[in-house]
Structure 1
């Protein structure tokens, strides 16, 4: 008896800027964000099975990840099966390296890698546009996990416009102990805005497009990017997890050009001048007994890394 095994990977993301609009009637917010895919990957392996299941391992604690039907990878596999008429299920193994609930799109990367892997497993023949449509139904960050590179995201963040970019940028990521719920961070932002505005002024905040940040990416100018990075969710994330303030200050004091909370946090991302500076910053954090990872970007989105038949 033989079975086919397909492997794929998808990258984490950093929001180099993130503007958040007012709360909409559907419970979401209009966003304007600059996505950058970086070289921290989720690895997924799929094989045909009678039903859908997922197992986890990797370099991080995965105990908080749901293994049932709410798992994004299972939902992604079911979406491909429904789209192509596959009658069986899929056994999914995820090797996780992206911080969980860390603002870097780890769950979205799992889903994106599963989409391309199952498309290959079942010879579904779904086009990139068809996969992107499935991705948008799964979550706002999943389409970018598919495409990778650099992109402007609008709407919920799922309406993507690929952006030109030059060169490779070096970042140091510092995951925090603990997690931040994205809905909770958004709620904290709304609560703060409402406390500052009168009733008649509510729901009029428009997301801001950071032209400077996108220009910096196009030019590959790390100093310009350091001056123009911004995240509307950073203030509420810092309020919910105050110790991140010290992490950001420490990283910049030790030589980073700039630090920012990635997405809804709590991972802190530090932009560095070059590879040498990034390696040194990782060492400096290590000397402070703080775990840090050097990554580069932009990198490509979800892709197949291997397929074979096991006997």
Structure 2
């Protein structure tokens, strides 16, 4: 028998992700690409607050000033409401999302919201489902949603939804530069297919990246950061290449496109190094954000 429902709203925080390694194989017959990736959750996050209502589900979205909310749906097509529909327990919910994660930026902001909705629903109604049940629900919603539940640093395989946590003793300093205009993930994958019609079936292995992570040395990690979608993203948006060059000139150990882009991230050698890169890029770019990783996956915010 289900325990008594919580009577007050509940807030869950879910972090942005970056891909330290993103190996992409040839597109499969089902339209997905096989991946071997290493995710890391960083300290940009969305907060989702869930409460019961006698009416149907409703959604409001607010965001930090740099977050463009124009393309975030507030109807049933929003992935957070899709997540609630996936696990519906027959009551309505008010959903309020406060976003820090850039929209269409390659940082899995929508996936974070979906993961937050799944966990919030589970905890609000005191269901306490096993992790494997929540992860199965997450995988049905999207490739990045399971990682948004897990957080930390993790390896993803399949289409990215098969997630295995990775031991990571590093404290990694990042500088994040979102783009003013998003970039469609399907468009980037299609361009990857055009650029690499003979891509191997098996994606590039994440093993070198995992070995570097184990050392907790930023210089070693910088050498093996890898993203097969960076080339098509820069080909579609050449200014991303210019941004990466600028960030490395300002002192970053390595710059790269985050996931399918267009957000770019820069690995730095220390907090002081990240502040220098932050200051240098802020002279030209309107939005520059410092971040630390890894951080926790989706979790209840205790007020």
TM-score w.r.t. structure 1 length? 0.92
> Are the counterparts in 1 of residues 250 and 276 from structure 2 also a CA contact under 8 Å?
no
* Counterpart Cα distance in 2 of 1:304 and 1:232: 34
Is residue 262 of structure 2 the alignment partner of residue 266 of structure 1?
Answer: yes
Q: Deviations over 1:161-187 (max 9, x none)?
A: 111111211000000111111111000
Among 48, 54, 62, which residue is 1:57 paired with?
Answer: 62
Is residue 25 of structure 2 the alignment partner of residue 38 of structure 1?
Answer: no
TM-score w.r.t. structure 2 length? 0.94
- Structure 2, unaligned stretches of length 5 or more? 1-5
Among 47, 52, 56, which residue is 2:51 paired with?
Answer: 47
Q: Map of 1:47-86 to 2, 5 A cutoff?
A: 47-49=51-53, 50-59=55-64, 60-81=67-88, 86=89
Q: How far is 1:204 from its partner?
A: 4.2
Q: How far is 1:291 from its partner?
A: 1.7
SS for the counterpart of 1:117 is helix
SS for the counterpart of 2:259 is coil
SS for the counterpart of 2:101 is coil
Specify the alignment match of 1:10 in structure 2: 14
SS for the counterpart of 2:34 is strand
Is residue 258 of structure 2 the alignment partner of residue 255 of structure 1?
Answer: no
Cα RMSD (Å) of the superposition?
A: 1.4
> Are the counterparts in 2 of residues 56 and 93 from structure 1 also a CA contact under 8 Å?
yes
Specify the alignment match of 1:181 in structure 2: 184
- Divergent runs of 4+, >3 A: none
> Are the counterparts in 2 of residues 212 and 225 from structure 1 also a CA contact under 8 Å?
no
Q: Map of 1:141-220 to 2, 5 A cutoff?
A: 141-194=144-197, 197=198, 204-220=200-216
SS for the counterpart of 1:22 is coil
* Counterpart Cα distance in 1 of 2:201 and 2:231: 16
Q: Deviations over 1:39-97 (max 9, x none)?
A: 1111000101221121100201211111122211001112222xxxx221211000011
Q: How far is 1:139 from its partner?
A: 0.4
SS for the counterpart of 2:82 is helix
> Are the counterparts in 2 of residues 37 and 148 from structure 1 also a CA contact under 8 Å?
yes
Specify the alignment match of 1:109 in structure 2: 112
* Counterpart Cα distance in 1 of 2:247 and 2:140: 37
Q: How far is 1:205 from its partner?
A: 3.3
SS for the counterpart of 2:31 is coil
* Counterpart Cα distance in 1 of 2:242 and 2:285: 14
SS for the counterpart of 2:252 is coil
> Are the counterparts in 2 of residues 62 and 100 from structure 1 also a CA contact under 8 Å?
yes
* Counterpart Cα distance in 1 of 2:90 and 2:208: 49
